[in-house]
């Protein structure tokens, strides 16, 4: 049974749930997904505080201050950040305050030091523009009982900072998925046997590298199980290394060749197989099943097919395991530079380079689209999506691309 990309994706994701939460020290949580709402126990900031180095005053005392007619006030004391005022601002007085220091009672304004003579016992104020300003109210950022960071958030720099602010020394997060990566094929070697490649006898298992790298980029931990030969015994033996992993990704051996054993070996090990083919190019043979509760994705062996099917199916699985709510990348609309015609009634994913031209993103093909041409993948920053029912795209037409990596978004400098 062959499924559309969407059906296959739904079937795969419906069999995958977020990993159980565990508690980790806050700094170890970077890049992981929060498994519970973290509620603030405190008010932040805890006091009305100054957003400027300057003088706390009453606005009514300074509204008429100007360069020609400065307002001169006695300075009652100086309050640094980390100190508390001992006095209140009375009408006709000022208290010198530093940024972050509590604003004394009685003041509704902080005049920035730049608009004064900087005096320590008396201050001359020569501008009224700050009247009524520069006081940050207590609790402006966080209130007790409000959700500081919501469950499902990816903990990046800002989230880490907020969690620290509310005292979350440890947090409940979803574990980073351990993903076993297994290559298959008698023709494959790793770099330690590159002399055989040089002789023309073997090829390097580039899939071990692309898949491993993508696992890490998707927020998982890659466990490289190496290469298995095209024989069932070799497979079964190596598969043991996947024990304790949360996902197994194999590449190769899922097609209809005489030595494509992946499916049979998995079955013999007790796997339940859920799907075999997806109506897409590249990458039509795609296996998915569960082996004693562990999901297994069988990507095709062709290097480009393996990468494209990883984007569509493996990345969302890893993100789901990580507890992320948004598991898909967002397609963006582009205009296409080339005429493109697809032969078979399959959803096509073509390697393109997306560049911005003014306000519009334009996609051009990387060149020939053979599924063994890995260098074209290395030049692409997006996949052009051509639905099966749209066999022809003319130059200038609009279509959607799926960005890959960060490349599609770079190269624009803020012109400010």
Interacting residue ranges for ligand AMP, rule: CB under 6 A = 183, 185, 187-188, 203, 205-208, 251-253, 255, 257, 260, 300-303
Cα separation, 56 vs 291, in Å, equals 68
Q: Least CB distance from residue 190 to ligand AMP, whole Å?
A: 10
Output the six-digit token pair for 151. Answer: 């469950």
Q: Which is nearer to Mg ion, 56 or 181 (CB)?
A: 181
Selection from ligand AMP, Mg ion, none that 212 binds (CB < 5 to 8 A by kind) is none
Site for Mg ion in 80-109 (CB under 5 A): none
Residue number, nearest CB to Mg ion: 185
**DSSP assignment letter at 113:** G
| Binding of residue 212 to Mg ion (CB under 5 A) | no
Tokens 């066999």 -> residue: 391
Q: What length does the chain have?
A: 416
Using DSSP, state whether 172 is helix, strand or coil: strand
Query: What kind and span of H or E run contains 227?
Result: strand 221-228
Residue 306: name the closest of 279, 285, 331, 320 by CA: 285
Query: Which residues lie closer than 8 Å to 201 by C-beta, 6 or more apart?
Result: none
| Binding of residue 185 to Mg ion (CB under 5 A) | yes
Kindly indicate which of the ranges 248-256, 273-281, 345-353, 366-374 contains the residues binding Mg ion, using the contact rule CB under 5 A.
248-256
Selection from Mg ion, ligand AMP, none that 206 binds (CB < 5 to 8 A by kind) is ligand AMP
Q: Which is nearer to ligand AMP, 13 or 236 (CB)?
A: 236
| Binding of residue 323 to Mg ion (CB under 5 A) | no
Strand 71-79, strand 94-97: pairing: parallel
Cα separation, 38 vs 41, in Å, equals 9
Selection from ligand AMP, Mg ion, none that 250 binds (CB < 5 to 8 A by kind) is none
Q: Least CB distance from residue 185 to Mg ion, whole Å?
A: 4
Q: Least CB distance from residue 372 to ligand AMP, whole Å?
A: 6
Q: Least CB distance from residue 319 to Mg ion, whole Å?
A: 28
Q: Least CB distance from residue 394 to Mg ion, whole Å?
A: 38
| Binding of residue 252 to Mg ion (CB under 5 A) | yes
Q: Which is nearer to Mg ion, 253 or 295 (CB)?
A: 253
Cα separation, 328 vs 33, in Å, equals 16
Strand 122-125, strand 178-184: pairing: unpaired
Burial of residue 78 (number of CB atoms within 10 Å: 0-12, 13-18, 19+): middle
Selection from ligand AMP, Mg ion, none that 207 binds (CB < 5 to 8 A by kind) is ligand AMP
Selection from ligand AMP, Mg ion, none that 188 binds (CB < 5 to 8 A by kind) is ligand AMP
Output the six-digit token pair for 22. Answer: 């565990």
Bridge-partner residues for 359, per DSSP?
none
Selection from ligand AMP, Mg ion, none that 255 binds (CB < 5 to 8 A by kind) is ligand AMP
Q: Which is nearer to Mg ion, 18 or 185 (CB)?
A: 185
Output the six-digit token pair for 220. Answer: 């998982």
Q: Least CB distance from residue 257 to ligand AMP, whole Å?
A: 5
**DSSP assignment letter at 314:** I
Q: Least CB distance from residue 305 to ligand AMP, whole Å?
A: 8
Kindly indicate which of the ranges 152-160, 238-246, 249-257, 269-277 contains the residues binding Mg ion, using the contact rule CB under 5 A.
249-257
Buried b vs exposed e over 227-256: b needs ≥16 C-beta within 10 Å? bbebeeebbeebbeebeebbbbbbbbbbbe
Q: Least CB distance from residue 208 to ligand AMP, whole Å?
A: 6
* Positions in the binding site for Mg ion (CB under 5 A): 185, 252-253, 301
């Amino acid at each position: 049974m062959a499924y559309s990309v969407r059906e296959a994706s739904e079937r795969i994701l419906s069999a995958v749930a977020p990993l159980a939460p565990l508690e980790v020290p806050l700094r170890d949580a970077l890049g992981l997904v929060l498994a519970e709402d973290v509620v603030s126990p405190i008010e932040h900031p805890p006091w009305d505080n100054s957003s400027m180095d300057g003088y706390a005053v009453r606005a009514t005392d300074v509204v008429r201050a100007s360069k020609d007619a400065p307002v001169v006030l006695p300075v009652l004391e100086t309050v640094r950040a980390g100190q508390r005022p001992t006095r209140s601002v009375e009408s006709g007085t000022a208290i010198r305050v530093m940024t972050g220091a509590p604003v004394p009672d009685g003041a509704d304004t902080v005049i920035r030091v730049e608009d004064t003579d900087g005096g320590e016992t008396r201050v001359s104020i020569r501008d009224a523009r700050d009247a009524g300003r520069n006081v940050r109210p207590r609790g402006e950022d966080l209130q007790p009982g409000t959700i500081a960071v919501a469950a499902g958030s990816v903990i990046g720099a800002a989230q880490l900072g907020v969690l620290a602010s509310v005292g979350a020394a440890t947090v409940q997060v979803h574990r980073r998925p351990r993903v076993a990566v297994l290559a298959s094929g008698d023709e494959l070697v790793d770099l330690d046997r590159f002399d055989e490649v040089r002789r023309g006898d073997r090829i390097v298992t580039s899939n071990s590298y692309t898949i491993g790298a993508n696992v890490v980029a998707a927020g998982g931990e890659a466990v490289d199980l190496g290469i298995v030969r095209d024989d069932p015994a070799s497979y079964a033996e190596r598969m043991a290394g996947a024990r304790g992993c949360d996902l197994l990704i194999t590449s190769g051996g899922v097609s209809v060749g005489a030595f494509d054993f992946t499916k049979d070996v998995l079955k013999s090990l007790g796997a339940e197989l859920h799907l075999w083919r997806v109506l897409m190019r590249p990458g039509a043979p795609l296996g998915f099943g569960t082996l004693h509760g562990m999901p297994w994705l069988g990507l095709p062996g062709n290097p480009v097919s393996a990468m494209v099917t990883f984007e569509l199916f493996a990345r969302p699985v890893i993100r789901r395991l990580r507890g992320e709510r948004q598991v898909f990348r967002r397609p963006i609309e582009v205009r296409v530079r080339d005429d493109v015609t697809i032969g078979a009634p399959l959803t096509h994913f073509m390697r393109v380079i997306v560049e911005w031209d003014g306000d519009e993103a334009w996609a051009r093909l990387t060149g020939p689209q053979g599924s063994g041409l890995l260098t074209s993948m290395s030049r692409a920053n997006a996949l052009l999506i051509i639905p099966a029912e749209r066999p022809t795209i003319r130059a200038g037409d609009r279509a959607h691309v799926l960005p890959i990596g960060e490349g599609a978004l770079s190269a624009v400098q803020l012109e400010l």
